[in-house]
Amino acid sequence: MKKALYLLGLVAAMSSQEALASWLEEERPLAVKKLMANISPSGTTRGTVIASPSRANPDYFFHWTRDAALTMDAVLDLYATAGTQTDRDRYKSAFFDYVRLSRAQQNSRAIAGLGEPKFFVDGNPYDGDWGRPQNDGPALRAITSIRFARVLLTEGRADFVRSDLYDGRLPSLSLIKKDLEYVAAHWREPSFDLWEEVRGDHFYTRMVQRKALLEGSKLARDLGDPWAADWYAAQAKELQAALAQHWNPQKGIIVPTLNRSGGADYKTSDLDSAVILAVLHGYADDGFFGFSDPRVLATLEKQATAFRNAFSVNRAPGFPGTAIGRYPEDRYGGIDFNGGNPWVLTTLAFAEIYYKAAQGQAAGVRSTWTAKADEFVARVQRHAYPDGALSEQIHRDSGFMTSAPDLTWNYAQVLTTYAAKEKLKR
């Protein structure tokens, strides 16, 4: 009791800035724990990253290629900053498990081949109806595996890199090269978007494909595969031209999908937070559609306004910032299709991109953008369970956590948001 009162006084005395820093800081160890608990949980094949422990309403007890890659990328961040050898070993062996499983999945009889979006927890490809292929998956898997290859190369494990990750052969038997060959050969084909609903050409998918090919080109060159290095770079360049088409000057936004050829047709606003995730996951550090690109931030602001109008929880007095969904016309509520909700990971993504955009700006801009970012974090804090647990969605009217509990991707997003804010302090 005494302690609680003391804390209460302390919180009141702190500026909201400090309270916020402490929420992300408090959330971080929980996010690490919950994220790690969703990798190879009991009853699954080693290397499986479940999207959520929820087995019904909704059933997310599967390994999605996308969610797994984003999660394992956060594991690489953890590996880089781990304080003890025990932790380092744990994160590294989790990644080796992921590599082993991913290679088996690449070679499985999946309906969509390498574009297969989802696997059973025994490692086998899902074989029911689904929006497939989803061609962001192999690109994301390549991006994170290339990072792992870089780590291993600095640690003197070139043997494993050349045998299991990048063999420089055609056809390839190795994880990264197989994915890069797939991306380079199929990026022109339509696929389903990251929300698994719309068939067409997507800004998100194209951004991560471009990044995979650029990073892959560098790796290929370093490993003595110059022909492939040139081929991947040439495809990346063509992707760049295709990506530029997504900027719509009349609307003043980056549109999420061009040439829609199937799936959901009701996203009439063309406002989709996938565009923001595209920059976070696909920016290749070369000035092309970067964090502070005026087109990106203009799109973000228009989206934020649309979400403010779309959800009644955003009109409730006394709540900081704005809760962000997938897109305003969304119908998917997790257990029904009666209306979409704000999502935790998209709201935190808006914070992360503002922290990253603020990096390197003049003092005024920097503090304005940091404050905007802080508001999105504060928003999520207000809707989180008291113990910090995070479900996929925030109910649009009640503000309570809803849909899949302990969504793994949420915790990865907490870690990258935290890291972006920390970097800004340095």
Q: Please list the active-site residues.
A: 193, 196
Site residues (CB under 6 A) for ligand NOJ, limited to 91-150: none
Closest to ligand NOJ by CB, 223 vs 412, is: 412
Q: Give the containing element (helix H, strand E) for 7.
A: helix 2-13
The stretch near ligand NOJ (CB under 6 A) out of 29-37, 61-69, 209-217, 238-246 is 61-69
Secondary structure letter of residue 124 according to DSSP: P
- Cα–Cα distance, 365 to 346 (Å, whole number): 23
β-pair partners for 263 = 198
- Closest approach of Cβ 326 to ligand NOJ, in Å? 7
- Cα–Cα distance, 352 to 77 (Å, whole number): 15
Among 196, 293, 329, 422, binds ligand NOJ (CB under 6 A): 196
Among 27, 67, 164, 374, binds ligand NOJ (CB under 6 A): 67
Among 73, 197, 270, 352, binds ligand NOJ (CB under 6 A): 197
- Closest approach of Cβ 83 to ligand NOJ, in Å? 30
The stretch near ligand NOJ (CB under 6 A) out of 60-68, 85-93, 223-231, 235-243 is 60-68
The stretch near ligand NOJ (CB under 6 A) out of 155-163, 195-203, 233-241, 353-361 is 195-203
By CB under 6 A, is residue 164 in contact with ligand NOJ? no
- Cα–Cα distance, 129 to 324 (Å, whole number): 29
- Closest approach of Cβ 202 to ligand NOJ, in Å? 12
- Closest approach of Cβ 85 to ligand NOJ, in Å? 32
- Closest approach of Cβ 393 to ligand NOJ, in Å? 10
Secondary structure letter of residue 283 according to DSSP: -
Instruction: Give me the 300-339 binding string for ligand NOJ, x by CB under 6 A, dash otherwise.
Output: --------------------------------x-------
Order of strands across the sheet that contains 257-263 = 191-192, 198-202, 257-263
- Closest approach of Cβ 192 to ligand NOJ, in Å? 9
Sequence-ordered list of residues with C-beta below 8 angstroms from that of 285, at least 6 positions apart, any chain: none
Q: What share of residues in the chain are helix, strand, coil (percent, to 5)?
A: 55, 10, 35
The stretch near ligand NOJ (CB under 6 A) out of 5-13, 22-30, 64-72, 74-82 is 64-72
Closest to ligand NOJ by CB, 45 vs 370, is: 45
By CB under 6 A, is residue 51 in contact with ligand NOJ? yes
Distance spanning both ends of the chain, measured CA to CA = 37
Closest to ligand NOJ by CB, 92 vs 118, is: 118
Q: Which two tokens stand for residue 188?
A: 């022109």
Q: Provide DSSP, 91-156.
A: HHHHHHHHHHHHHHHHTS--TTGGG--EE-TTSPBP-SS-----THHHHHHHHHHHHHHHHHHHTT
The site that binds ligand NOJ (CB under 6 A) totals a number of residues, namely 11
β-pair partners for 325 = 342
Q: Is 38 helix (H, G, I), strand (E, B) or coil?
A: coil
By CB under 6 A, is residue 383 in contact with ligand NOJ? no
Q: For strand 393-394 and strand 401-402, is the pairing parallel, antiparallel, or unpaired? A: antiparallel
Cis amide linkage into residue 342, ω under 30° from 0: no
Q: Give the containing element (helix H, strand E) for 263.
A: strand 257-263
Closest to ligand NOJ by CB, 194 vs 357, is: 194
Sequence-ordered list of residues with C-beta below 8 angstroms from that of 211, at least 6 positions apart, any chain: 139, 143, 281, 282, 283, 284
By CB under 6 A, is residue 195 in contact with ligand NOJ? yes
- Closest approach of Cβ 270 to ligand NOJ, in Å? 17
Q: Are 206 and 239 in contact (CB under 8 A)?
A: yes
By CB under 6 A, is residue 66 in contact with ligand NOJ? yes
Residue ranges in contact with ligand NOJ by CB under 6 A: 51, 60, 64, 66-67, 194-197, 332, 409
